[in-house]
Amino acid sequence: MDAIARTMTGVHQSSSGPPGDTWLEITDSEPAIDDAYRWAVQPDCGAVVLFSGTARDHSSGRSGVTQLAYEAYEEHLIARFEGLVDEIRDRWPDVRRVGIMHRVGEVPIGESTVVVVTSSPHRDVAFETARYGIDRLKATAPIWKREVWSEGQSWGLDAREIDDVGLAAPRPTHRGDDAS
């Protein structure tokens, strides 16, 4: 992989992004959405799709969510991100740049928790790869979410087995739910 980063609050990030065509990052601050977009733009690419999942004030059966916190098995997370990028590049050889960034720690409502950005010469590939990227990230990454709401707190309601990367999922179809 071209770039792997672990950023901490207070550390200045480059506005140009890493060299190469892959940007993988675990951060305890809000992902650099503007930088990710600018990094993905390339002269040979006519399409950039950036997905940003944001912390919201509710979840299934819970109103008044005031805060989210994410924990990750960081020693394995970058390897999962790398496997996911390999899946994307195997399925869509025309994809150019792929960036995956996920936040850990406390996340205030309205701030970004995850970013997946892809670029390609054509929009269909950019849309498909960004959608596939966020869907597979949620299925393969060892990341857990804790919610704090008006009546208590608990770990996320969507506990699941974590899939292995490298066993590509079927092409996703739109489910109408959100991926944050």
HEC letters along 153-173: EEECCCCCCCCCCCCCCCCCC
Which has the higher per-residue pLDDT, 111 or 1? 111
Mean pLDDT of 60-81: 90
Look at residue 180 and tell me if it is in a domain: no
SS3 104: coil
CATH number for 77: 3.90.1170.40
* Domain, as residue range, for 83: 4-8+44-152
Residue 39: inside a domain: no
What's the pLDDT band for 1 if we cut at 50, 70, 90? very low
Q: Residue 179: inside a domain, yes or no?
A: no
pLDDT: which is higher, 180 or 42: 42
Q: Band the pLDDT of 102: cuts 50, 70, 90.
A: very high
| β-strands 58-59, 112-120 pairing | unpaired
Average pLDDT over residues 90-109: 97
How many domains are there within the chain? 1
User: Measuring CA to CA, how many Å separate 56 from each of 15, 64, 78, 110, 147?
Assistant: 27, 9, 25, 6, 10
**E strands in 8-111:** 22-27, 47-54, 58-59, 62-63, 65-72, 97-103, 105-108
Is residue 174 one of the residues assigned to a domain?
Answer: no
More confident residue, 136 or 13: 136
Contact by Cβ (8 Å): 162, 83: no
Confidence (pLDDT) at 178: 44
Has residue 178 been placed in a domain?
no
Rounded to two decimals, what is the model's pTM? Answer: 0.80
In a domain, 52, yes or no: yes
User: Does any domain span residue 121?
Assistant: yes
CA distances from 163 to 111, 128, 167, 178 (A): 27, 20, 8, 19
Strand partners of residue 146: 69, 155
- The mean predicted confidence, pLDDT, of the chain is 84
Contact partners, residue 37, CB within 8 Å, separation at least 6: 48, 50, 117
Within 10 Å of residue 101's Cβ, how many Cβ atoms?
A: 25
In a domain, 28, yes or no: no
